[in-house]
Amino acid sequence: MEHPQQLLHHWFLQQRKSGIELLRRLVQEASTQGNEATAQALIIEKCRQLQLELDIWEPNYDELKHHPYFVASRSDFANSPNVVAVWKGTGGGRSLILNSHIDVVPEGDPNQWKAEPYSGIVKDGKVYGRGASDMKGGTVSLLLAIEAIQSLGIRLKGDVIFQSVIEEESGGTGTLAAILRGYRADGAIIPEPTNMKIFLKQQGSLWFRLTVQGKSAHGGTRYEGVSALEKAWVVFESVRQLEAERNTRIHDPLYQNIPIPIPINIGTVNGGTWPSSVPDCVILEGRMGIAPNETVEHAKQEMEETICSLNERDKWFRAHPVQLEWFGAQWLPSSIDDTHPLMNAMMDVYRRVKGEDPIIEASPWGTDGGLLTQVGAIPTIVFGPGTTAVAHYPNEYIEIDRMFDVAEMIALLILDWCEIAQAGRRKL
C-alpha cells in the first residue's frame, strides 16, 4: 500500500466536485437561529452515508438552565437539533472530537450582497454565501476527512466524534448540551475561520449593560438639568481606562500582532426621548474580552470594581449610581499548552501538507473551545480554512483550496492521533 498521505491527497483531488457540492447545499440552507433543521438534515444524510452512529436531539432548556455557563436568548430549541455522529474505534487509541456549528449569523442588508446571500455560487475558486467561511466550509473539511480515511479501508483504534451543534453564535448551548450528554475525548479540533493559523489560545467575552441616570430639563435651560449623555461619557472613559490597564498585563508573544488583545467595546448607546429635552437616561451595552488564562469571575470583578469606584468618586454618581448588569451571550476563554501532544501533531501535519511552519497565534474572539476546555476538560485547538476577514460580512466566501487543504490535514491528524488499527487495502 502507498503511504496514506499520498492516497489521501489523491482522494481529495478526485472528490473536489462532490465536496464543493456538499458545501453549496449547506450554504443554501439559511440556518440562522431557530432555522437549523434543514441544514442539519443534510449533515444527518451525510453521516448516514458514512455509517456513523448518530445521536440527534433538541437541547432541553430545563436541563441546562441551572448550569453556570448556560446562556441563551431563547428557552425553546424546537426545530434546532444537535447532531453528534461517532465513528467507533477498535479500542486502545486516543479519541478526537471534531466540533463544528451549523448556525450562522443573519445575512444583514441583502442590497450589500452581489448575489443572493444563500446562493452558494462558485466563482474564482471560492464558494459564496452566508456561513461559507463561518463555518460550513470547516464542517465540510471535517466530513471529508472522515470519508477519505474510510475510503482507504482504514480502521482506527480511537473514536472520532463529529459534532454539528447549534447556538455557537449566541453562547454555546449546543456544545454545552453535548458535553453534559457525556461526549468527551482526549482532544478536540474546531475548524473556525482562523485563516489556517493555529489558535492554541482564545479570549473569552461577556456582554454587559451600563445604565446611567441624569436629570431632565428643557433644552433651552439645559444647565438646570444633568445630561445622562455627558455622564455616560465619564463612564465610557472609565471603561476605556480599565481596558488599558487590563491590556498592559498581556505580554504573551502570541498577541504581538493584535493591537488590543482583550478589548472592551461599547457597541450600543441608547438614550433621550426628545431633541429639546436634556436626556435623563442613557444605556450603554458592550462586550468585555477575557484573557485566555483568566476566569469569567475575575473579569466581572474588575468591571464591577471600576464601576463601584466611579460611583464613589463622582458626586452625581454617589446619589445616582451607575447600574451594571451582565446579560446575553458569554464565551469562556481557552488555552492549550504549546507542547501538548495534540499541538505537536497538528503542527506536524500542517508541515507535511503545506511544506512550511504554521502560524501560531491567540484568537481575538471566542468559540465553543472554552466550553470544551473548561467544562469538558478536553484539550482543544481552533484551526480552520475560513477567515474572519469575510465572516459575518456581506459577500462572505471560502477558498475551496483551503477547505481541501484543511480536510487533508484533519485526516492525517486523525490517523496520527487515533492511530491505525488496520491498514486499508483499497487503491484509488
Q: Which grid cell is 162?
A: 463529529
Q: Residue 179 pLDDT > 50, yes or no?
A: yes
What pLDDT shows up at residue 312? 98
Listed residue (418, 403, 412) closest to 350, CA to CA: 412
Listed residue (14, 24, 18, 10) closest to 123, CA to CA: 24
Q: Residue 56 pLDDT > 70, yes or no?
A: yes
What pLDDT shows up at residue 129? 98
Instruction: Give first-to-last CA distance, the chain, whole Å.
Output: 11
What pLDDT shows up at residue 428? 45
Q: E strands of 75-225, at which residues? A: 82-87, 96-101, 122-123, 126-128, 155-156, 160-165, 188-190, 198-202, 204-213
What pLDDT shows up at residue 426? 55
Strand partners, 409: none
Q: Residue 2 pLDDT > 60, yes or no?
A: no
Q: Quickly tell me which residue has 488555552 as its cell.
A: 335
Give Cα 308 to chain centroid, integer Å.
32
Mean pLDDT computed over 178-205: 97
What pLDDT shows up at residue 423? 76
Q: Residue 260 pLDDT > 60, yes or no?
A: yes
CB-based contact 190:100 (threshold 8 Å): yes
Residue 262: count other Cβ atoms within 10 Å of its Cβ.
Answer: 24
401-410 per-position pLDDT tens digit: 999 999 999 9
The C-alpha atoms of residue 152 and residue 7 are separated, in whole angstroms, by 8
Q: E strands of 18-94, at which residues? A: 53-57, 82-87
The pLDDT mean for the chain works out to 96
Single-letter code of the amino acid located at 380: T
99-128 per-position pLDDT tens digit: 999 999 999 999 999 999 999 999 999 999
pLDDT band at 1 (very low <50, low <70, confident <90, very high): very low
Active-site annotation, residues? 103, 168
CA neighbours within 13 Å on the CB side: how many for 61? 9
The C-alpha atoms of residue 146 and residue 164 are separated, in whole angstroms, by 14
CB-based contact 295:301 (threshold 8 Å): no
DSSP 395: T
Proportion of the chain above pLDDT 90, given as a percent: 94
Mean pLDDT computed over 258-263: 94
CB-based contact 380:190 (threshold 8 Å): yes
Q: How far, CA to CA in Å, does 314 sit from each of 103, 244, 283?
A: 44, 21, 18
120-157 per-position pLDDT tens digit: 999 999 999 999 999 999 999 999 999 999 999 999 99
Residue 300 dihedral angles phi and psi, to the nearest 5°: -60, -45
Q: E strands of 332-412, at which residues? A: 334-335, 360-363, 380-382, 397-399
pLDDT band at 424 (very low <50, low <70, confident <90, very high): low
The C-alpha atoms of residue 15 and residue 161 are separated, in whole angstroms, by 22
Residue 293 dihedral angles phi and psi, to the nearest 5°: -105, 20
379-402 per-position pLDDT tens digit: 999 999 999 899 999 999 999 999
Listed residue (211, 228, 212) closest to 277, CA to CA: 228
277-322 per-position pLDDT tens digit: 999 999 999 999 999 999 999 999 999 999 999 999 999 999 999 9
What pLDDT shows up at residue 214? 98
Q: Residue 200 pLDDT > 80, yes or no?
A: yes
Q: Helix (H, G, I), strand (E, B), or coil: what is residue 143?
A: helix
Mean pLDDT computed over 89-99: 97
Model confidence pTM above 0.85: yes
